[in-house]
Amino acid sequence: MDRPDASLTDRFARTIAHLGPIPLAQYMSEANAHYYAHRDPLGVAGDFITAPEISQMFGEMLGGWLADIALRAGAANGCYVELGPGRGTLARDALRVMKGAGLTPPVHLVEGSPVLRKAQGELLAGYSPAFHDSVDSLPEDRPLLILANEFFDALPVRQLIRTGEGWREMVVGMAGERFVPVPGDRPMDAAVPDARRDAPEHTIIEVCPAASAIMRELAGRIAKQGGAMLAVDYGHLQSFTGSSLQAVRAHRKTDPFTDPGEADLTAHVDFAALAQAAQMAGCRIDGMGTQGEFLLALGIAHRAAALARANANAAKPVGEALDRLVSPQRMGTLFKVLALAAHDWPQGAGFAPAVQ
């Protein structure tokens, strides 16, 4: 079989040969666009497994959260929005719970991959989902009830590195046949916040302008139209220092600079930066915490017990899935949750009262 990545490797190599090294963010953006456009990466046979693929309980908890806040806000006309819905599993589970609560929202999916759009369209056929290339085309006339799981970590990051000559942007060049990350030539000191400018040599600051831009747009819409959002991802509650770029292929970490477009490239999400973007765009932050604590606060253990009671054969796998989602040694602590809402909406469930 042809190597499906040949064109991307060649294209990067040609661009670098003609124009010089390319920004890391461009490398990550094009590699991931290629990666997601050509496959369904989820599941045991794929490259990685996500929370909604582990258990229906994950989507049920998130759907319950949306239904609860929308009903208390008196906003039965809101639409369901999901960013990067994968196979559509989270939407299916969330929408089932919302329906049980009397909500049948129109469904809007922001998805870049044609392969995954097809999978989502099939799984969610009963909901006639509308697809969007970006958040800009989402409806403007009604509240937005938004979920995003493992979406922000796939967006391209920019890295700035402190060298002996000052701050530089990380770019991708070539050493022989291999792609290598190196500091670029142009001074970037002005792009570094004053407080961090004197960091020691070799310090890397990673930022995700695409994530902040998407959050600003969505939070601005929620502030105007009403609505609420949950973003779940692996990352940090406080801004961090250093590179978190990684590549995963067939459930193993690989080198992000080998075979671009053939492995899933991700970076840790900076939840403090996302929350700041949301607040600046006019939203209230209802909470930031770990996935484990959040799901337990929403009652996932009770749901697991009910599923186990209903089907004795399910007791073991349900218990295992629960442990995987909430245990601190597994996904419970590594994954974080950010909840936000319009200021005139009630406080979302699962967290202590709002930070104003």
90 binds ligand SAH, rule: CB under 6 A: yes
CA distances (Å), origin 332, targets 10, 183, 217, 294: 40, 35, 29, 9
Give the binding range for ligand SAH (CB under 6 A) out of 78-86, 167-175, 183-191, 285-293.
78-86
* From candidates 60, 111, 233, 262, binder to ligand SAH by CB under 6 A: 111
> Interface with ligand SAH includes 260 (CB under 6 A)?
no
Shortest distance, position 86 Cβ to ligand SAH, whole Å: 3
One residue of 86, 105, 287, 289 binding ligand SAH per CB under 6 A: 86
As a whole number of angstroms, the distance between CA 170 and CA 314 comes to 49
| In the chain, beta strands by DSSP E | 22-23, 79-83, 107-110, 130-132, 144-149, 158-163, 166-175, 178-187, 204-207, 227-236, 246-249, 252-254, 264-266, 269-270, 283-290, 335-342
Stretch that binds ligand SAH, among 4-12, 81-89, 174-182, 194-202 (CB under 6 A): 81-89
CB atoms within 10 A of CB 215: 28
Contacting range for ligand SAH; rule: CB under 6 A; set: 79-87, 162-170, 194-202, 268-276: 79-87
What gap in Å lies between CA 62 and CA 230, rounded to an integer?
Answer: 8
Site string for ligand SAH, 2-41 (x = CB under 6 A): ------------------------------x---x-----
Contact status: 110 vs ligand SAH (CB under 6 A): yes
Is residue 208 near ligand SAH by the rule CB under 6 A?
A: no
Q: Does the footprint of ligand SAH cover residue 78 (CB under 6 A)?
A: no
Least CB distance to ligand SAH at residue 82 (A): 7
The binder of ligand SAH chosen from 84, 129, 289, 332 (CB under 6 A) = 84
Distance of CA 252 to the CA centre of its chain: 19
Relative to beta strand 107-110, strand 79-83 is parallel
In the complex with ligand SAH, the residue whose CB is nearer, 144 or 188, is 144
Q: Smaller CB distance to ligand SAH: residue 120 or 159?
A: 120
113 is an interface residue for ligand SAH by CB under 6 A: yes
Residue in the shown chain whose Cβ atom is closest to ligand SAH: 84
SS3 24: helix
Write the binding mask 127 to 166 for ligand SAH: x where contact by CB under 6 A, - elsewhere. Answer: ----------------------xxx--xx-----------
Residue 241 CB coordination number (10 Å)? 12
What DSSP string runs through 177-221?
TEEEEEEEEEE-GGGS-GGGTTPPTT-EEEE-HHHHHHHHHHHHH
Q: Give the binding site for ligand SAH (CB under 6 A).
A: 32, 36, 42, 50, 52-53, 84-86, 90, 110-113, 116, 149-151, 154-155
